[in-house]
Amino acid sequence: MQISGNTILITGGGSGIGRALAEAFHKRGNQVIVAGRRQAALDEVAEANPGIATATVDLSDARDIARFAAQIAGDHPRLNALLNNAGIMQPENWSAENVDLATAEATIATNLLAPLRLTAALLPLLRKQAKSTVLTVSSGLAFLPLAPTPTYSATKAAIHSFSESLRYQLKDTNVDVIEIAPPYVQTELMGAQQASDPHAMPLAAFIDEVMQILETQPDAHEVLVQRVHPLRFAAEQGREGYAKAFAQLNDAFAAR
């Protein structure tokens, strides 16, 4: 992926990793459009970064995604990069006598169905450009799941798998597919306390390393900061090694 001169749409761009990536791409000479549900959060990004455009969308609503995609195609006909970043992460209690599926269903709608729908809607536009990129954001938990957030981990595993297949299907086209797999990062994904959790990777350090990888490895298909390697490659330690890593991850989380 070229690091500058793109017109890039970033979902979930009002906060956290999405906002930080939007600002990083903006500083490198890209036209950036941040999208999300809350206009106030998007306006804050745009005010702090003159030149960044905004657009609202409800990613849990298939009809609104279709409307949004048509709006983006009309307003930004040179769009050549889509970064599917928006996501939610909430704990679930599957040991309860009656499991409430509301969280699981909302997670699947936002984390999995939304990027599939938006990618499908924008692919015709992306294929019109000389060179385009679809970027997906999975997670280290796609490879080593966190038991208290089973559906989140499952959707991120699905995003990894989808990214692999999409890349293969588009290999003879002008559209590349890049997967970014973050570790645990200091954002407010699971609440305000996460933003200062010493166990999490500082957001600025994560963004710096991601952008360095994109700049120095333009043909990379997976963007993996060093801190995510133990999660990403847990399965390569064999069954016993994987089981040990799984237990360590989940026992450590339970002890917090």
Q: Which sequence positions are flagged as catalytic?
A: 152
As a whole number of angstroms, the distance between CA 54 and CA 43 comes to: 7
Helix (H) or strand (E) holding 204: helix 203-216
- List alpha helices for 36-149, DSSP H: 39-48, 62-75, 102-108, 114-126
Structure tokens at 14: 């009002």
As a whole number of angstroms, the distance between CA 246 and CA 163 comes to: 24
Give the count of alpha carbons within 13 A of 72, CB side only. 34
At 209, the amino acid letter reads E
Helix (H) or strand (E) holding 249: helix 238-255
Check: CB of residue 210 under 8 Å from CB of residue 225. Answer: yes
Check: CB of residue 40 under 8 Å from CB of residue 51. Answer: no
